[in-house]
Each structure stands twice: as structure tokens, then as C-alpha cells.
Chains A and B, each alone.
Chain A
Amino acid sequence: MFMAELAARKHVQFILSKAKEKDSYESVLMEHIRLNGAYWGLTTLDLLGKLDTVDVNEVVSEVLQCQHESGGFGGNIGHDPHILYTLSAVQVLALFDKVDVLDTEKVANYVAGLQNEDGSFSGDMWGEVDTRFSYIAICCLALLHHLDKINVEKAVYYILSCKNHDGGFGCTPGGESHAGQIFCCVGALAITGSLHCIDKDLLGWWLCERQVKAGGLNGRPEKLPDVCYSWWVLSSLIMIDRVHWINKEKLAKFILDCQDIENGGISDRPDDACDAYHTYFGVAGLSLLEYPGVKPIDPAYALPVDVVNRIILGIKE
């Protein structure tokens, strides 16, 4: 099925070199999202079977230094807490089976405290509302075994209020359907066992229409294909059991064509510059396509399946 080859070793080197790069102008611009970067990089390494190349204690101590007294995490040491980085922190610790270093009750209270009266979630104390934050809160609380701290029914109700007539979801009620927001909404519904609330056939058709002639997937009608949408669209299709409605070979070829074979890394489209974000989404997309040599990833939790089994089902390997 797969014509081209995944330059796995090069991608591992690319990720490791990005992690060391703390002094470049680019990395300073990214300083405030360092925890997101850690999640993308480390999950990529785990999917490629190379998580053991990093020092667990170093990562854990770095993550913990980003925690705020409120229980939430900032994007870096000394930055304000936000739900975005709180999920990244929990996911990174989950990769190493280290969630128990946290006062999970405290972290869960921070996240639960961001739920609004209508069931939606704010990103932080400043109150920005978005279905992205609904997913993040639900995913985070499920990983911490504290979903009971929020009103799940209301959370689901809010997500469903963001569903459009085309079957997709937007960031707020009436917002345009967008593959990234769809992943968040479908993921949150999957984790809370609420997928029966949506029209899978209608949504599945919208999602499979996202595949363009080049084989890649776009995030909205008439937009260019982009490797990161391999993740948003593909994971959603898998969660609603409709992934066979797209051409998987063509998609795998598109992702593999976006690799930098010489220096490692994956870009958004063929011949563009590579970054850690698209490298993660490219590898995660190939994982969903069952590419040989890549560990399977869970489409809802966005973590390797063995990690999710360990945490959610209590299965130790």
C-alpha cells in the first residue's frame, strides 16, 4: 500500500535537535508555548519508538515548573496558566506514566473551574470561549479520572449547539464548520460516550469531501490541503467509523511527500519548511493509517494507544 518510505530516523533527529534549540529567534517566539512543543515532540518520539532517548526526570521536573499555584499550567516557566498547556502537561506526563506526580485533584479543580453556566469552557480566567476548550477540558479530566467534577451533560449540550446543518462543528454556535473544531467536538463526544448524538453519515460525507486531488485533506471547502488536517479529519473519520470513505493510499502518499528526506521533519505541503507541529501531525496521521513501524495512536485522546490503555483501562503491558 505505501509507495514512499517514512524517514523515521531523520524525523527523530529533527525533533531532538528542535528540543535543544533554546536560543534561536524562532524558539524564543515559541517560548510561551514550550509545553505544546514538548507534547508534539515527545509524542512523535513515542510513536516512532524512541521515547527512551529522553531523560524522564528532566522532562517531569521541567513540566512541573510550569505549574501555577491555581493548579493549571503555563506554556513555560513563569507564564500564566491556561487550559491549553494544562492538557499538554498532563499528556506529556501520561506518556511517561508519571501522571501520579501531580496533585490530580488540584489540576482537575482548575480545569473544572473553567466550565461556564451554559456548559461551555473558557480557556483561562479571561473568559475566551471555544469548542477547542471543551475538548481540552474533557480530555484532560478523563486522563485525570475526574470527569465527575464537571457537568458532562451540559458540556455535551453546548458542543451540540455548535453543530451546523452540513454536519460539521464550529468554534461557537453558528461558527463555520472547520476540521480542527470538528476533531475537538467529535473527540469530546467520543470520550463522554455521546457519539450517538450526531449524524455520522452526514458528517462523514462532509469530512470525506475534504480529500482533494493531490490526495491530501483540507480543513474547509476550497482551502489548500495541509498535513495537519490529516490528523483533524482522519481522527474524526475514525471516531465515527467512516475512514474507509477516503482514499487512504493517496493520503499516505501526500504526507510522505511532505517529508524533508535529508534533514528530517514534515511540512504542511510538499517543499515547504518543516516544523515540529507538522512533523507530529504527519507521523500521527500515518499512525492512524497503520503505517508499519509507527505505534498506533488513539484518535480521541491523541496519545499512543498503549498509553491510553494504561490510563483509561488500567492495562499495564
Chain B
Amino acid sequence: MSSSSSSDEERRWVPLRSRPEFSDVIPVEQDDGPNPVVPITYKEEFRETMDYFRALYKADERSLRALHLTSEAIQFNPGNYTVWHFRRLVLEALNHDLHDELALTEHIARGNSKNYQLWHHRRWVAEKLGTSATTEELRFTKNILSIDAKHYHAWSHRQWVLQALGGWEDELDYCQQLLEEDIFNNSAWNQRYFVITRSPFLGGLKAMRESEVCYTLNGIVARPENESSWRYLRGLYKDDNSSWVNNPQISSVCLEILNAKTNCVFALSTLLDLISHGFQPSQEFTDAVDALRISDSEQRDSDVAKAACFVLESVDPFRANYWQWYKNKHFQNA
């Protein structure tokens, strides 16, 4: 594709009205509705490109010059979905080589990767190319994620690639690598959950649980303030509360964090979750929670669950109403 490489970008833009291949086209201005059109102050080149685009689009001209024109229009404004739509009609009509599209979308992504159109186009192309596109699509998303590791479009595309085209083999390692770089990356935790529950090679949640619990608990001990790792841990016991309550590793990590006395919100909430599902806390838990009270004047309760709720109300004041509700709902009669 001539206009998608960076050297061409630097080439001077030739007005469409001076290009011989467009001499027969009468440009069509945007119909701005009933309001009078005020003098044009935006880039003349962009306007001219769009006027010529509208002419070819109206005439439904699915030609090579139309293909080139859409590529120019897209580079001026990648958000204009009608141009992308028309481009796909032209590509289909010409039976054009789709590998060029990968270069175009990658080029557009360099400018603004948070554009729905480019991802939609990319998927349309990858779907047509089939499994031959797998490696390239995994590389492309990895590249975007190396710049923004929480990029929602990139993750979404990557999940689609795995499910539609395959390439699961190295995905758990990839999640591991991203979590080593940033253990707070919720997108990477989500992808990890996606892999262990959906990869055809790993045997599913139950088969993966033991090793995943160990991995996650290590992450929790390293950064106990990390909402993502705690939620992941709980997700490992989705629909299996009795295993959740009966794994002693979990309660002992909670105790360890409570005793360290910093960043205890999620350890306390997990303790509450365990107790509400039948866990019987020992005296050690009562002592650890009691020691977390900021001052002696603070409310205390002989019941460890209620005491934990009181602590949460004071250390997490934005959500005081939530912890109060939690106490009343689960431990009213304790």
C-alpha cells in the first residue's frame, strides 16, 4: 500500500484536483443540514479528500483508485467508520491482497490505537486470513500491550484471536511476564483467568487451582494492597465455597498480613468472606484484628467478624456504609 509507509507520508500531498486519475470526479461537499455552512478553517487537504471520497462513495465506485482514496481519508480521520466500511466493500470487489490491510491498521494504531474502527477492520481481515494470521495477530497485540498493558481493544482482539484462530500455547507464560512487570495489572490477571478457564491445553479451573493458589498467594504477600490478586484468588473458588473455606493456606496468609498491620483492607474483607462461609477463626485472628484498632476509644467487639467490620469502617471511610451493611447482613446475631 503506497500511502501507509512512513517515507510516503513525508512525500508532499498532491491535491486530488491536480491528479490525472481523479480528473473525471466531481467532489461532493458534506451536506451540513439546514444550518448555513460557515467559512472553512480546517485543513484544506482533508476537506478535499473527503469531497472526493463522497463522490466515489455516492457512485459506489469499487475501484483501485477508490481503495487508495479510502486509505488517504482514513489517515486523515481514522474515526470515520463510513470510509472503513466502503474500503471493505472495495477490497471484496477487487479481491485485493489483505496483507496490505495489516500494515495499514498497524500504521493507524501508531497514531491512535484506541479507535474502534481499526480493531474492527483488523478482525475482519484476520477472520478472512484464518489461522495463517495467528502469529501476526498475537505479535501485533503484544506490541500494543508493550506500550499500554491495559489496552482494552488489544486484549479484546487477543482473546478473539486465541478463541478463533488458536495460539494458546504460550499465553500463560505471557500473563506471567506481564504480571512480573506490573503485578497490579488487572487486565493481565483477567487474561490469566481467561487462559486457565478456557485454554484447551490446561484442563480447566479445577485442574489449575492448586498451582494458581500458590502463585496468587505469593503475589498477595508481596503486595497485599492489590485488589486484583485478591479478586483472582476468590475467582479460583467460584462456585466452590467449601474448598475456599477449607484451604488453610488462605486463612494463614490473611493472618500473616493482618499481623503485619499495613494494607489490611483486603485481608480483612477476605477473612470476613471466609467467616461468612463457615470458617471458624482461632484466637490468633481475634488478637490480630484487635491490634488493628487505631485507638482504644474505637468501637470493639468480642466477635472477631464484627470487630473486623469496625476496623474496616475506620480504615476505609469512603466505603464505611458498605462495611456497616456487611456487618449487619452477615453477623447480626453473632
A interface with B by C-beta (< 8 Å): 20, 22-25, 27-33, 58, 61-62, 65, 74-80, 82, 124, 126, 128, 164-166, 170-172, 174-178, 201, 204-206, 208-209, 211, 220-223, 244-247, 250
Q: Across the interface, which residues of A come within 8 angstroms of B186, CB to CB?
A: 176, 220-222
Checking A78, A166, A172, A175 against B231 with a beta-carbon cut-off of 8 angstroms, the contacting residue is A166
A32-B80, A174-B198 known; A58 and B30 CB under 8 Å?
Answer: no
Q: Mark B37-57, 1 if CB is under 8 A from A, else 0.
A: 111111100110010001000
A128 to B43 alpha-carbon distance, docked (Å): 32
Tell me the residues in window 224-271 of chain B with beta carbons closer than 8 Å to chain A beta carbons: 227-228, 231, 234-235, 238
A209 to B269 alpha-carbon distance, docked (Å): 12
Checking B38, B82, B184, B321 against A222 with a beta-carbon cut-off of 8 angstroms, the contacting residue is B184
A209-B227, A223-B150 known; A177 and B190 CB under 8 Å?
Answer: yes
Interface pair A244/B321, CB less than 8 Å apart: yes
Q: Does B325 contact A (CB under 8 A)?
A: yes
Q: Does B111 contact A (CB under 8 A)?
A: no
A78-B54, A209-B319 known; A176 and B187 CB under 8 Å?
Answer: yes
Q: Across the interface, which residues of B come within 8 angstroms of A221, CB to CB?
A: 184, 186, 227-228
Q: Across the interface, which residues of B come within 8 angstroms of A128, CB to CB?
A: 116, 120, 123
A118 to B116 alpha-carbon distance, docked (Å): 23
Q: Across the interface, which residues of B come within 8 angstroms of A165, CB to CB?
A: 193, 231, 234-235, 238
Label chain B's interface by main secondary structure. helix
Interface pair B38/A176, CB less than 8 Å apart: no
A211 to B318 alpha-carbon distance, docked (Å): 8
Tell me, rounded to whole Å, the shortest Cβ–Cβ distance linking A221 to chain B: 4
Q: Nearest A residue to B160 by beta-carbon distance?
A: A172
Q: Across the interface, which residues of A come within 8 angstroms of B79, CB to CB?
A: 29-30, 32-33
A78 to B28 alpha-carbon distance, docked (Å): 11
Q: Nearest B residue to A58 by beta-carbon distance?
A: B34
Q: How many residues of B contact A (CB 8 A)?
A: 58
Q: Does B77 contact A (CB under 8 A)?
A: yes
A-B contacts, 25 of them at CB < 8 A, read: A20-B35, A23-B42, A24-B41, A25-B41, A28-B50, A30-B79, A31-B77, A32-B77, A65-B33, A76-B30, A80-B81, A82-B81, A126-B124, A128-B123, A165-B235, A166-B234, A176-B152, A176-B187, A176-B191, A209-B227, A220-B186, A222-B228, A223-B150, A246-B318, A250-B318
Interface pair B238/A175, CB less than 8 Å apart: no
A177 to B197 alpha-carbon distance, docked (Å): 16
Interface pair A23/B82, CB less than 8 Å apart: no
Q: Across the interface, which residues of A come within 8 angstroms of B286, CB to CB?
A: none
Q: Nearest A residue to B237 by beta-carbon distance?
A: A165
Q: Across the interface, which residues of A come within 8 angstroms of B310, CB to CB?
A: none
Q: Does B298 contact A (CB under 8 A)?
A: no
A220 to B31 alpha-carbon distance, docked (Å): 40
Tell me, rounded to whole Å, the shortest Cβ–Cβ distance linking A77 to chain B: 5
Closest 4 A-B residue pairs measured CB to CB? Answer: A165-B235, A25-B42, A176-B190, A245-B322
Q: Nearest B residue to A25 by beta-carbon distance?
A: B42
- A166-B235, A172-B159 are known; give 17 further A-B pairs, CB within 8 A: A22-B37, A23-B39, A25-B43, A29-B79, A65-B31, A75-B82, A164-B235, A165-B238, A171-B152, A174-B197, A175-B155, A175-B190, A211-B319, A220-B186, A222-B228, A223-B150, A246-B318
Interface pair B325/A245, CB less than 8 Å apart: yes
Tell me the residues in window 61-111 of chain B with beta carbons closer than 8 Å to chain A beta carbons: 77, 79-82, 85, 88
Q: Does B168 contact A (CB under 8 A)?
A: no
Q: Across the interface, which residues of B come within 8 angstroms of A174, CB to CB?
A: 159, 190, 193-194, 197-198
